[in-house]
């Protein structure tokens, strides 16, 4: 499972390990009930057990794994229903964050979002999943981070950590998703330009939930 994975020196090792395990859990490669052996993971990734322990604590705080005294750490129940519930919760919070961002949005920020949407259009035309996903993330990140509420941001980041793959999975299985997702971002952008915070909130919620449902229906 970890044969092709590498650890780089530019990102904290615990975060890289947490990301890898999170990916394998959410994609089902590490099914519910799987035991996570610290020494085995250490050997497979060629790192010490310290960042492994730290990564497991991160995942436990997110509810992805649980620990049993004298037995170790295990993957928690992560059914499709569980995944959908998490994404729906994230959608609601991202919508809330976008609402407050748009309430006080500046013309500079609007122009930044327009520029990202333009890059997204080019990636769509090229069917470049990596770039399209990157610009998609940037678009949503701006609408989150400018809400000026660190508590909302913290919770959203935890929920997003459990859901990094929805858009990519959908794009890989359905090329029409490029145009659909881009069109939805255009609608969001139009509402932003009108500074209609409520409409932006509704569009964000519907967009995230639709992408998630498309991905989950393909599982």
- Span 85-122, pLDDT tens digits: 888 999 999 999 999 999 999 999 999 999 999 999 99
pTM over 0.95: no
Alpha helices in 62-106 (DSSP H): 80-103
Q: Which of 113, 201, 123, 205 is nearest to 168 (CA)?
A: 123
Mode of pairing for the β-strands spanning 65-68 and 35-36: unpaired
Q: Is the pLDDT of residue 21 over 60?
A: yes
Give the model's pLDDT for residue 171.
66
Torsion over CA of 28, 70, 63 and 149, rounded to 10 degrees?
-140
Task: Please state, in angstroms and as integers, the Cα–Cα distance from residue 185 to each residue in 22, 181, 188, 212, following that order.
Answer: 27, 6, 5, 15
128/79: higher pLDDT: 128
């Amino acid at each position: 499972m970890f044969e092709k994975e590498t650890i780089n020196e530019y990102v904290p090792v615990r975060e890289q390990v947490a990301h890898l395990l999170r990916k394998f859990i959410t994609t089902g490669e590490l099914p519910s009930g799987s035991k996570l052996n610290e020494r085995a993971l250490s050997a497979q990734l060629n790192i010490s057990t310290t960042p492994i322990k730290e990564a497991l604590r991160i995942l436990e705080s997110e509810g992805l794994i649980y620990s049993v005294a004298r037995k170790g750490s295990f993957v928690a129940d992560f059914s499709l229903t569980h995944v959908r519930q998490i994404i729906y919760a994230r959608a609601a919070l991202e919508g809330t964050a976008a609402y407050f961002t748009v309430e006080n949005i500046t013309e500079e920020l609007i122009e930044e979002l327009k520029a990202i949407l333009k890059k997204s259009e080019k990636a769509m035309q090229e069917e470049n999943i990596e770039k399209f996903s990157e610009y998609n993330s940037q678009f949503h990140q701006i609408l989150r981070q400018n809400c000026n509420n660190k508590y909302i941001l913290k919770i959203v980041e935890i929920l997003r950590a459990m859901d990094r793959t929805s858009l990519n999975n959908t794009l890989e299985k359905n090329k029409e998703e490029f145009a659909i997702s881009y069109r939805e971002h255009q609608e969001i952008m139009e509402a932003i330009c009108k500074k209609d915070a409520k409409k932006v909130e509704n569009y964000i919620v519907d967009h995230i939930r639709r992408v998630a449902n498309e991905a989950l229906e393909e599982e």
